[in-house]
């Protein structure tokens, strides 16, 4: 059976190669191109752009860009432009059945970015989103949905969040609800969504802050750090999941505003820490799994900003080494390559949120648990937990309420849904013992659990019935439906 | 006693009362019209099924236990669904011999001289002795209830057999062929191994000791002194259940015992599934006591085999290479074999300060330090054995009827041996495959079999499953044996059939993932309906009751108290536990057992067939023994009138219930 599928996939590749190779709709508008590779590899789609910039998602291709399709090993003349009617295109993603491409594009210079879809041969172009500002970095979800990044506002108010809608563009709704400039990264096989955001998730956003990886469910519940290592001065983005569950991404010591790429790094399913695959002098602009042991990567050809140019290479995962060049254009960068092949449908996640609920609930098993503390436990006696929120606009912090903390460190409270919240652990005299920095949220009807106030994803909880659940007056209601006038200033 | 309808469609209080009254009336009427079962029959024929027509179990092989000849030439395989033992020539990788044994062979052992095979037959409660060379049955040996694991001592004179349903260990004199001693084990003893020095027999117990439900489970490794043939130690393995096979590393590799297990988090409300909130899978690493200290001091460390983002559900088999360098652990729900570098494992244990060793039991990043390969096995890999020359390992794939051959030098699956089972997959077999497969759960964390081990058993734990009332409605897990015809399901009776029980709600609230397709649900239900109660040795083969059992039966079916007062119909045992419907009335009853932590007062009446095999009792597992139901949890006679019964009468009643 395995060989049957291998043959089928190989046949599919050959058919694609033949089809595209025979097409007369080829173009090589960028001079000095080169495509080298003799092994049979799947066709790819990628973004070609004269200039690639770091920072704001909407400003990555200031001189425009195009989505093209190519079969490695075939001469450059086979390069097929797919978006001739757009000023810029970006972020191609291939549907699970391998027949369609989802991408973001700008019709004219200065126009807003929207999400579009077409068949892999460029036919059937259609606009999915009609965002008031910019929508980029889309990905397919199971059950005919897509997820993408929405960028809004100007200056200090500029922020990004992640949204979900139907493939026909209807049913638009956010799934991130706090500060941090969330951006879509990829959909994981488990059905979770991998996003990146500034770390910590502070109200005062800054493009110079570190960016790291978080996971959440497609309904926006269960947002958590992918891993817990400190990410000071680290920028993690461009993440994809490999077939074995490893998360591959670009890591740069530069802040997001300055990093158009980084070193290749990965986190395996069983490891807490990321490890770097490539040397510090190499800068990569994107990576995706091409075959079982091969990536297609965009690697910068020069460290000089004036001559920044990314070319496409094969990358051998086993040897952690750069392989043959797949496509090179001396006058343009080639980035964001994705193989035009079917890939596994992620697990469907059935949301158990309650659409009409105004609140969610937080259950903390042991608020003394903290990876920041010596021996993993906070000192002092925790008497209560204070929940705060951000009052928009102005980022004014307000108190939602206080809930008692039991002697085993557990607490159980109801909090308003879909607003930023953070926690402060307080002693018997009201002194703040420990304050959470990042803003998180609880979705409507979500039961959100945490082991402690800063627990590690590498620890499973102890088997213990929390005292907070023995009480009959929990969950402690905090904030109600959050009428602003009911809240107190801290 | 109050009766409530189990129908989920009925919400109105008045309608509920009306139906409760109708149900109660119907019960009494049926009992009156049909009369009581005859005295000679303790387990009368029941009527009504949920599954419709009976689908016979196809003759799949289901290899589940293996042993190798001393030279590595012959691989002997017990196949539980076909009542066969196979001999595979490891050179040709073909089945060369086969022999029929008793019903449901589950364990296999070879005599020290390599001439005799012993095969435990769980469903016929005996052991088949086979000449290894000719593959002819020599004789049938006695065992207890549900024999599974077995081994001889070093002399080959004594056979130790773990009787899983009897909670004991039979010692059989192999010269006379007679059982001469029986030792108490823990709860559901299943697997047995002889220590390398021959001085001890180690027995793992599948379930934790029966204990208060608000405490984490504690399982037992039972250690038998083979010289004195007594239990030398009962080693606590805290926080785990489902300890399976055992392997002992050689002294040069630390001399540890390795035992796969599952760590349930049944006391935590199931708020989320990720990060091991439901359960995790791992391995006990037990350093045996030195003989000098009386075999009593064992040091237990627990490590997880799961990764942070991927789980390896339902550890089952474990085998070490003879040099002790590698250990293989099968994840029967993940179709994976984890290869453990025992040197790295030992280093992890040695460099972890004693004060932090307890943390290892919950660390999801430990396995990356000592698991060097995750090899893809066939479906539902169970037992594992290694060749004497360190070159190969063999993995029994129960749901594939195959054996995977692992090349230990290349650390790869070298080949797969087809044992020759039917190639057509029936609905029931498809359902059985689904039952053991964890891929339908988020991150592959669990299969149906994870919480229903031993092919459908209850795990003996009370779980906090229900939302939106976190910490409320903690309920005891229930068996899947013999549940056809006992609908509705769940303690709150909300699921009218198994399709409802195993469909989208399981996907949403338990698996937190995609779950089963409608066809898969139907296949799964077909399989679950096929699960039969084990044969009950408490009842004579002719159905005749002992005097004690007959007295107990009279109490069960009585309608007058000991002082001759009439017992109201709804306060009689047989009204709610009707023998006409598997000793359940299939309605909800308020018997006064609800606690302040319950949001409902009435619970589904459990069937009593096989009741002796599944303590603890009551909806929340508070009653550790049957007697507790009446002496502790029925102070106001709401659970039938029992306060007039003395200790002897309750004992009689229990003896009768054991026959069901």
At residue A305 the predicted structure's pLDDT band, cuts being 50, 70 and 90, is: low
Residues A414 and A322 both lie in one domain: no
Asked whether A250 and A284 are in contact (CB, 8 A), the reply is yes
Percent of chain A with pLDDT over 70: 85
Compute the average pLDDT of residues A369-391. Answer: 88
Asked whether B369 and B350 are in contact (CB, 8 A), the reply is no
What is the pLDDT, as a whole number, of residue A73?
A: 74
Of B239, B367, B513, the CB nearest to A270: B367
Residues A119 and A197 both lie in one domain: yes
What is the pLDDT, as a whole number, of residue A230?
A: 56
Asked whether A55 and A261 are in contact (CB, 8 A), the reply is no
Cα separation, A405 vs A366, whole angstroms: 9
* CA A219, A224, A227, A230 torsion-angle sign: positive
Of B274, B307, B512, the CB nearest to A270: B307
pLDDT at position A265 over 90: yes
What is the pLDDT, as a whole number, of residue B116?
A: 97
Of A265, A301, A298, residue with least CA distance to A281: A301
What is the pLDDT, as a whole number, of residue B347?
A: 96
Of B239, B362, B508, the CB nearest to A350: B508
H or E element: which one contains B405? Answer: strand B402-407
At residue A482 the predicted structure's pLDDT band, cuts being 50, 70 and 90, is: low
Residues A390 and A317 both lie in one domain: no
A369: distance to nearest CA of chain B, Å?
13
**Residues on chain B touching A361 (C-beta within 8 angstroms):** 470
What is the pLDDT, as a whole number, of residue A267?
A: 95
CATH code: domain of residue A36: 2.120.10.30
Compute the average pLDDT of residues A192-204. Answer: 88
Is residue A428 classed exposed, middle or buried when 0-12, 13-18 and 19+ CB atoms within 10 A define those classes? exposed
Cα separation, B273 vs B280, whole angstroms: 10
What is the pLDDT, as a whole number, of residue A218?
A: 97
Where b means 16+ CB within 10 Å and e means fewer, B552-579 reads: bbebbbbeebeeeeebebbbbbbbbbbb
CATH code: domain of residue A435: 2.60.40.2190
Residues A363 and A312 both lie in one domain: no
Q: Which of residues 237-256 of B touch A (CB under 8 A)?
A: 239
Q: Is residue A351 part of a domain?
A: no
Residue A465 to residue B515, Cβ atoms within 8 A: no
* CA B615, B620, B622, B623 torsion-angle sign: negative
> Which of A360, A460, A473, A476 to mutate against chain B (most B CBs within 10 Å)?
A460
Angle at A285 between CA A281 and CA A288, to 5 degrees: 115
Asked whether A407 and A427 are in contact (CB, 8 A), the reply is no
Q: B366 to chain A: nearest residue by CA?
A: A270
Q: A221 to chain B: nearest residue by CA?
A: B272
At residue A89 the predicted structure's pLDDT band, cuts being 50, 70 and 90, is: very high
Phi, psi of B360 (to 5 degrees): -60, -30
Cα separation, A176 vs A153, whole angstroms: 16
Cα separation, B3 vs B496, whole angstroms: 17
Residue B470 to residue A352, Cβ atoms within 8 A: no
What is the pLDDT, as a whole number, of residue A432?
A: 94
Spans of chain B, pLDDT less than 70: 1-58, 291-295, 466-468
Q: Which of the two residues, A209 and B264, has the higher pLDDT score?
A: B264
3-state secondary structure chain A: CHHHHHHHHHHHHHHHHHHHHHCCCCCCCCCCEECCCCCCCCCEEEEEECCCCCCCHHHCCCCCCEEEEECCCCCHHHCEECCCCCCEEEEEEECCCCCEEEEEEECCCCCCEEEEEEECCCCCCEECCCCCCEEEEEEEECCCEEEEEEEECCHHHCEEEEEEEECCCCCCEECCCCCCCCEEEEECCCCCEEEEEECCCCCCCCCCCCEEEEEECCCCCCCEECCCCCCCCCEEEEEEECCCCCEEEEEECCCCCCCCCEEEEEECCCCCCCEECCCCCCCEEEEEEEECCEEEEEEECCCCHHHCCEEEEEEECCCCEEEEEEEEECCCEEEEEEECCCCCCCCCCCCCCCCCCCEEEEEECCCCEECCCHHHECCCCCCEEEEEEEECCCCEEEEEEEEECCCCCCEEEEEECCCCEEEEEECCCCCEEEECCCCECCCCCCEEEECCCECCCCECCCCCCCHHHCCCCCCEECCCCCCHHHCECC
Write down the H helix ranges in B332-452: 342-351, 367-370, 427-436, 448-451
At residue A261 the predicted structure's pLDDT band, cuts being 50, 70 and 90, is: confident
Of A279, A314, A324, residue with least CA distance to A294: A314
Of B55, B73, B67, B69, residue with least CA distance to B106: B67
Cα separation, A419 vs B252, whole angstroms: 58
> Which of A190, A350, A463 to mutate against chain B (most B CBs within 10 Å)?
A463
Asked whether A107 and A85 are in contact (CB, 8 A), the reply is yes
Cα separation, B487 vs A386, whole angstroms: 47
Residues A54 and A139 both lie in one domain: yes
Compute the average pLDDT of residues A327-339. Answer: 93
Q: Is residue A352 part of a domain?
A: no
What is the pLDDT, as a whole number, of residue A488?
A: 42
Residues A128 and A230 both lie in one domain: yes
**Residues on chain A touching B368 (C-beta within 8 angstroms):** 268, 270-271
Q: What is the count of structural domains for chain A?
A: 2
What is the pLDDT, as a whole number, of residue A210?
A: 84
**Residues on chain B touching A191 (C-beta within 8 angstroms):** 442, 513-514
* CA B52, B56, B58, B62 torsion-angle sign: positive
Residues A434 and A321 both lie in one domain: no
What is the pLDDT, as a whole number, of residue B329?
A: 98
Is residue A152 classed exposed, middle or buried when 0-12, 13-18 and 19+ CB atoms within 10 A define those classes? middle
Phi, psi of A139 (to 5 degrees): -155, 150
Of A149, A203, A206, A153, residue with least CA distance to A178: A203
Q: Is residue A21 part of a domain?
A: yes
Which sequence spans correspond to the domains of chain B? 2-51+431-658, 185-376
What DSSP string describes B591-616? -S---TT-S-S-EEPPP-TTGGGS-S
Residue A461 to residue B269, Cβ atoms within 8 A: no
Mode of pairing for the β-strands spanning A113-119 and A100-106: antiparallel
Q: Which of residues 179-218 of B touch A (CB under 8 A)?
A: 214, 216-217
Residue B304 to residue A460, Cβ atoms within 8 A: yes
Compute the average pLDDT of residues A287-294. Answer: 94
CA B608 to chain centre: 18
CA dihedral of A10, A16, A17, A20, whole degrees rounded to 10: 180
Asked whether A441 and A174 are in contact (CB, 8 A), the reply is no
Residues A221 and A249 both lie in one domain: yes
Q: B359 to chain A: nearest residue by CA?
A: A459
Q: Is residue A347 part of a domain?
A: no
Q: Which domain holds residue A462?
A: 359-486
DSSP reduced 3-state for B376: strand
Read off the pTM: 0.89
A273: distance to nearest CA of chain B, Å?
9
Of A191, A268, A412, the CB nearest to B513: A191
Residues A100 and A228 both lie in one domain: yes
pLDDT at position A430 over 90: yes
**Residue A317 has which token pair?**
């995962």
pLDDT at position A311 over 70: yes
Cα separation, B318 vs B248, whole angstroms: 10
Q: Which residues contact B264 (CB under 8 A, 6 or more apart)?
A: A463, B217, B240, B241, B278, B279, B459, B461, B463
Cα separation, B393 vs B331, whole angstroms: 15
**Residue B507 has which token pair?**
């996907």
Residues A245 and A273 both lie in one domain: yes
CATH for B185-376 is: 2.130.10.10
Residues A285 and A248 both lie in one domain: yes
Phi, psi of B527 (to 5 degrees): -65, -45
Domain boundary among A309, A339, A369: A339
- Give chain A's contact residues with B (Cβ, < 8 Å): 190-191, 222, 224, 227, 245, 268-272, 347-350, 352, 361, 363, 365, 412, 445, 447-449, 451, 457-466, 469-470, 472, 475
Asked whether A479 and A401 are in contact (CB, 8 A), the reply is yes
What is the pLDDT, as a whole number, of residue A77?
A: 60
Of B231, B257, B278, B588, residue with least CA distance to B459: B278
Q: Which of residues 469-528 of B touch A (CB under 8 A)?
A: 470-472, 504, 507-509, 512-515
Cα separation, B16 vs B259, whole angstroms: 50
B452: distance to nearest CA of chain A, Å?
19
A226: distance to nearest CA of chain B, Å?
9
What beta strand segments (E) does B153-229 contain?
A: 158-163, 168-173, 178-184, 187-194, 200-207, 218-225
> Which of A192, A227, A270 to mutate against chain B (most B CBs within 10 Å)?
A270
Of B264, B364, B509, the CB nearest to A352: B509
What is the pLDDT, as a whole number, of residue A201?
A: 83
Q: Is residue A345 part of a domain?
A: no
What is the pLDDT, as a whole number, of residue A4?
A: 45
**Residue A468 has which token pair?**
């907070």
Q: Is residue A433 part of a domain?
A: yes
Domain boundary among A311, A339, A367: A339
H or E element: which one contains B655? Answer: helix B647-658
pLDDT single digits (tens) A52-79: 988 889 999 999 999 999 988 776 667 9
B253: distance to nearest CA of chain A, Å?
24
Residues A94 and A50 both lie in one domain: yes
What is the pLDDT, as a whole number, of residue A483?
A: 42
Q: Which of the two residues, B212 and A199, has the higher pLDDT score?
A: B212
Q: Is residue A353 part of a domain?
A: no
**Residue B92 has which token pair?**
């040709």
Domain boundary among A306, A339, A372: A339
A430: distance to nearest CA of chain B, Å?
28
> Which of B365, B507, B510, B597 to mutate against chain A (most A CBs within 10 Å)?
B365
């Amino acid at each position: 059976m395995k060989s049957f599928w291998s043959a089928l996939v190989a046949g599919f590749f050959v058919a694609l190669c033949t089809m595209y190779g025979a097409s007369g709709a080829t173009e090589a508008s960028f001079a000095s191109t080169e495509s080298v590779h003799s092994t049979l590899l799947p066709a790819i789609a990628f973004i070609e752009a004269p200039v690639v910039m770091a920072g704001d998602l909407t400003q990555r291709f200031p001189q425009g860009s195009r989505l093209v399709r190519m079969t490695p090993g075939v001469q450059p003349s086979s390069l097929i432009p797919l978006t001739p009617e757009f000023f810029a295109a970006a972020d191609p993603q291939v549907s699970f059945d391998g027949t369609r491409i989802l991408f973001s594009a700008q019709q004219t210079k200065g126009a807003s970015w929207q999400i579009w879809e077409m068949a892999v041969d460029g036919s059937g172009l259609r606009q999915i989103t009609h965002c008031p500002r910019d929508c980029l970095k889309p990905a397919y979800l199971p059950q005919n949905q897509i997820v993408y990044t929405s960028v809004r506002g100007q200056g200090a108010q500029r922020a990004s969040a992640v949204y979900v809608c139907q493939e026909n563009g209807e049913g638009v709704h956010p799934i991130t609800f706090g500060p941090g400039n969330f951006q879509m990264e990829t959909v994981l096989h488990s059905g979770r969504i991998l996003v990146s955001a500034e770390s910590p998730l502070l109200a005062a956003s800054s493009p110079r802050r570190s960016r790291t990886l978080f996971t959440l469910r497609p309904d926006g519940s269960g947002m958590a750090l992918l891993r817990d290592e400190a990410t000071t001065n680290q920028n993690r983005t461009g993440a994809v999941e490999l077939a074995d569950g490893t998360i591959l991404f670009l890591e740069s010591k530069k802040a997001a505003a300055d990093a158009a790429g980084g070193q290749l790094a990965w986190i395996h399913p069983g490891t807490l820490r990321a490890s770097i695959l490539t040397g510090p002098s190499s800068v990569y602009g994107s990576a995706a799994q091409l075959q079982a042991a091969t990536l297609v990567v965009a690697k910068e050809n020069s460290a000089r900003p004036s001559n920044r140019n990314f070319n496409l290479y094969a990358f051998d995962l086993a040897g952690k080494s750069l392989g043959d060049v797949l496509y090179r254009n001396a006058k343009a960068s080639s980035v964001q390559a994705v193989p035009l092949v079917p890939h596994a449908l992620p697990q469907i996640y059935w949301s158990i949120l309650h659409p009409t609920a105004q609140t969610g609930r937080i259950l903390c098993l042991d608020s003394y648990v903290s990876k920041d503390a010596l021996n993993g436990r906070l000192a002092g006696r925790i008497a209560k937990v204070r929940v705060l929120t951000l009052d928009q606009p102005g980022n004014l912090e307000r108190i939602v309420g206080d809930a008692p903390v039991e002697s085993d460190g557990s607490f159980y409270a109801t909090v308003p849904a879909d607003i930023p919240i953070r926690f402060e652990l307080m002693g018997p005299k009201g002194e703040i013992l420990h304050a959470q920095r990042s803003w998180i949220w609880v979705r409507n009807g979500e039961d959100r659990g945490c082991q402690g106030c800063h627990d590690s994803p590498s620890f499973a909880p102890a088997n213990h019935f929390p005292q907070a659940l023995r009480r009959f007056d929990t969950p402690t209601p905090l904030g109600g439906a959050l009428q602003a006038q009911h809240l107190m200033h801290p | 006693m109050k009766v409530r309808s189990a129908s989920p469609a009925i919400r109105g209080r008045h309608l509920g009362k009306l139906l409760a009254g109708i149900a109660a009336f119907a019960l009494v009427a049926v009992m009156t019209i049909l009369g009581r079962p005859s005295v000679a029959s303790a387990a009368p024929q029941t009527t009504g099924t949920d599954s419709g027509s009976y689908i016979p179990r196809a003759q799949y092989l289901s290899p589940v236990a293996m042993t190798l000849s001393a030279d590595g030439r012959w691989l002997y395989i017990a196949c539980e669904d076909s009542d066969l033992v196979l001999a595979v020539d490891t050179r040709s990788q073909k089945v060369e011999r086969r022999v029929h044994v008793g019903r449901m062979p589950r364990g296999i052992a070879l005599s020290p001289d390599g001439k005799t095979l012993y095969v435990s037959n769980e469903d016929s409660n005996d052991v088949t002795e086979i000449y290894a060379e000719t593959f002819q049955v020599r004789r049938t040996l006695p065992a207890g209830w549900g024999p599974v694991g077995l081994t001889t001592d070093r002399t080959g004179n004594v056979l130790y057999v773990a009787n899983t349903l009897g909670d004991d260990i039979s010692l059989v004199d192999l010269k006379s062929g007679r059982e001469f001693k029986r030792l108490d084990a823990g709860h559901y003893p299943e697997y047995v191994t002889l220590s390398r020095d021959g001085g001890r027999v180690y027995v793992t117990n599948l379930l934790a000791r029966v204990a208060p439900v608000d405490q984490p489970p504690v399982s037992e490794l039972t250690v038998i002194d083979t010289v004195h043939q007594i239990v030398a130690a009962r080693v606590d393995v805290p926080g785990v259940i489902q300890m399976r096979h055992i392997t002992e590393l050689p002294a040069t590799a630390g001399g540890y015992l390795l035992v796969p297990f599952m760590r349930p988090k049944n006391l935590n409300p199931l708020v989320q599934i990720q990060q091991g909130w439901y359960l995790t899978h791992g391995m006990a690493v037990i350093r045996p006591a030195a003989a000098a200290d009386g075999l009593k001091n064992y040091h237990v460390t627990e490590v997880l085999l799961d990764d942070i983002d991927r789980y390896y559900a339902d550890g089952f088999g474990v085998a070490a290479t003879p040099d002790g360098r590698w250990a293989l652990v099968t994840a029967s729900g993940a179709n994976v074999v984890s290869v453990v570098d025992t040197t790295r494992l030992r280093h992890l244990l040695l460099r972890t300060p004693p004060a932090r060793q307890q943390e290892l039991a919950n660390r999801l990043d430990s396995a990356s330090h000592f698991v060097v390969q995750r090899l893809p096995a066939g479906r539902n890999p169970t037992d594992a054995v290694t060749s004497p020359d360190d070159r190969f390992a063999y993995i029994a794939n129960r749901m594939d009827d195959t054996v995977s051959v692992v090349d230990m030098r290349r650390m790869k699956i070298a080949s797969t041996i087809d044992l020759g089972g039917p190639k057509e997959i029936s609905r029931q077999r498809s359902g059985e495959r689904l039952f053991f497969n964890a891929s339908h759960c988020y991150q592959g964390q669990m299969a149906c079999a994870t919480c229903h081990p031993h092919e459908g058993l209850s795990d003996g734990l009370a779980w906090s499953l229900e939302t939106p009332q976190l910490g409320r409605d903690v309920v005891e897990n229930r068996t899947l044996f013999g549940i056809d015809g006992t609908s509705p399901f769940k303690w709150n009776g909300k699921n009218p059939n198994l399709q409802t029980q195993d469909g989208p709600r399981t996907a949403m609230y338990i698996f937190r993932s995609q779950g089963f397709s409608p066809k898969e649900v139907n296949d799964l239900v077909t399989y679950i309906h096929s699960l039969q109660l084990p044969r009950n040795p408490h009842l004579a083969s002719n159905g005749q009751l002992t005097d004690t059992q007959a007295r107990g039966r009279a109490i069960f079916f009585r309608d007058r108290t000991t002082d001759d007062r009439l017992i109201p119909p709804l306060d009689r045992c047989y009204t709610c536990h009707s023998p006409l419907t598997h000793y359940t009335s299939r309605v909800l009853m308020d018997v006064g057992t609800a606690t302040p932590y319950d949001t409902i007062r009435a619970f589904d009446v459990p069937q009593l067939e096989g009741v002796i095999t599944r303590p603890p009792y009551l909806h929340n597992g508070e009653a550790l023994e049957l007697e507790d139901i009446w002496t502790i949890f029925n102070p106001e006679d709401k659970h039938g009138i029992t306060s007039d019964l003395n200790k002897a009468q309750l004992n009689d009643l229990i003896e009768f219930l054991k026959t069901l």
